[in-house]
Structure 1
Amino acid sequence: MDSIFHEKQEGSLCAQHCLNSLLQGPYFTAVDLSVWGEKLDEEERVRMAESGEESEEYRNFLKQPSGNMDDSGYFSIQVISKALQVWGLEIVPYTSADERVKDCDPSKMQAFICNYQNHWFTIRKIGNQWFNLNSLLARPVLISDTYLALFLAQLKNEGYSIFVVFGELPPCTADEVIRLNPVVPPINNTPSCEEDPELQAALKLSLSQEFEEPANSEEEELQRALMLSLSCDNDEESNLRKALLMSMDNA
């Protein structure tokens, strides 16, 4: 994993770390993001001034701190979006009705940006494998395709805002290195659903929303496929399939 670019947490610059991990290089600094924050602040000031610079609403706006950045190094989703537009990238909420994300298979995407309580981090596919590039982690953490959807469901259940990244990411060395030399997951890299109560709760909540309506033929076929796959009960994916099947039965 040495080829993966992974910025460690410095101060409150998680937005910078998130963007650079996504792009796989030191593309942005706090100064760069501050420039975008100031531009957004000015655009908001101009819009507010249209109602009259003598209005109470405008004067109150000027007294408020910036909603796009602060002295700690925090930057808003608007700043992140503007920075990504430089690279022709777009972010769409994971829960959006946009056809690109509606009922999508997360493993078919290329990257996610997650936020909770002012902390930003990236989940990205590098080569043909997924990695959690959270700057609070000591190193990138491998996420299997099977576990990815459950991990996102857990984050959503915990209150995270999740955004899907669209557009062509810049080429990076790690893509080719990991494609040719896939990372081998360590034993027990990911806890099974039976051993992770938080993941079980997130999974049940997610599935209860997805299977409120009576099962149709496609869902029945999925259940039969999952039941058939349980004959191979020797790895992480088998454990996850068991949990999925049990949750669907309960639903």
Structure 2
Amino acid sequence: MSGIYHEKQERMLCAKHALNNLLQRSVFTAEDLDSIGRQLSPANWLNQHKTPFLGNYDINVVMKALQDMSYTVSWFDKRLNPADQNFEEIFGFILNIPTAISVAFVNLWNGKHWVALRKINGVWYNLDSKLQEPRAIGTDQDVRKFLQDVLQKDGTNLFVVKPENPGVSDQPPS
């Protein structure tokens, strides 16, 4: 997977990792996302857009971060038919999937995990920060099937990311 940027999971910062993996470079830090959360709710002394002390940012922070980078974000759920999407206009996908942390069959935590999908050099990749390395999904048809399968899981949300300027390349920056 040489040449593909891939941040691995650290604490509960999957939103940061998903954003950076989608953008194929280190753009956002936890401090940047904290600042966006405070901008969204300046009257609150506690950042309402993340889990205290842990990260785990909500969709408002993810959307604002991407909007600040000149991307539009559209929300879908399992009612979406991925076959209806024009993949030529899509920069990538951000998934928010149900996840649980368990030890010895004891469920310790239920939550959501942010995952990025991006087409790089003509191939779609799963850039999940929990993976050891990016995982090739394949063609547009393969990612449609992947999305259909993922969207059937309860609680999964899909966010389609498109550039505001259609000339954005699918190539990672040099």
Q: TM-score, normalised by structure 2?
A: 0.77
Q: Compare CA radii of gyration and give the structure with the larger one.
A: 1
Are 1:85 and 2:90 counterparts?
no
Q: Deviations 1:73-125 (Å, cap 9, x if unpaired)?
A: 1111000111111210111013599xxx8922457633100002321010000
The CA distance in 1 between the partners of 2:31 and 2:47, in whole Å, is 16
Q: After the TM superposition, which parts of structure 1 deviate over 2 Å for at least 4 consecutive aligned residues? A: 94-97, 105-110, 168-176
Taking structure 1 as reference, are residues 151 and 175 closer, same or farther at Cα in structure 2, changes over 3 Å only?
Answer: farther
Per the TM alignment, residue 150 of structure 1 is displaced from its structure 2 partner at its CA by: 1.4
Per the TM alignment, residue 67 of structure 1 is displaced from its structure 2 partner at its CA by: 3.3
Are 1:40 and 2:40 counterparts?
yes
Name stretches of at least 5 consecutive residues in structure 1 with no aligned partner: 46-61, 177-251
Taking structure 1 as reference, are residues 108 and 173 closer, same or farther at Cα in structure 2, changes over 3 Å only?
Answer: closer
Structure 1 letter corresponding to 2:3 = S
Structure-2 residue corresponding to 1:110:
91
The structure richer in helix per residue is 1
User: What SS does the corresponding residue of 1:21 show, helix, strand or coil?
Assistant: helix
User: What SS does the corresponding residue of 2:41 show, helix, strand or coil?
Assistant: helix
The structure richer in strand per residue is 2
The answer as to whether partners of 2:73 and 2:162 remain within 8 angstroms in 1 is yes
Are 1:165 and 2:161 counterparts?
yes
The CA distance in 2 between the partners of 1:147 and 1:114, in whole Å, is 16
Structure-2 residue corresponding to 1:142:
136
User: What SS does the corresponding residue of 1:7 show, helix, strand or coil?
Assistant: coil
User: What SS does the corresponding residue of 2:17 show, helix, strand or coil?
Assistant: helix
Structure 2 letter corresponding to 1:94 = F
The CA distance in 2 between the partners of 1:131 and 1:107, in whole Å, is 16
Structure-2 residue corresponding to 1:67:
48
The CA distance in 2 between the partners of 1:38 and 1:124, in whole Å, is 28
Structure-2 residue corresponding to 1:23:
23
Taking structure 1 as reference, are residues 40 and 28 closer, same or farther at Cα in structure 2, changes over 3 Å only?
Answer: same
User: What SS does the corresponding residue of 1:118 show, helix, strand or coil?
Assistant: strand
Taking structure 1 as reference, are residues 157 and 83 closer, same or farther at Cα in structure 2, changes over 3 Å only?
Answer: same
Greater RCO, CA 8 A, separation 6+: 2
Structure 2 letter corresponding to 1:118 = K
The answer as to whether partners of 1:95 and 1:102 remain within 8 angstroms in 2 is no
Q: Sequence identity, in percent?
A: 33
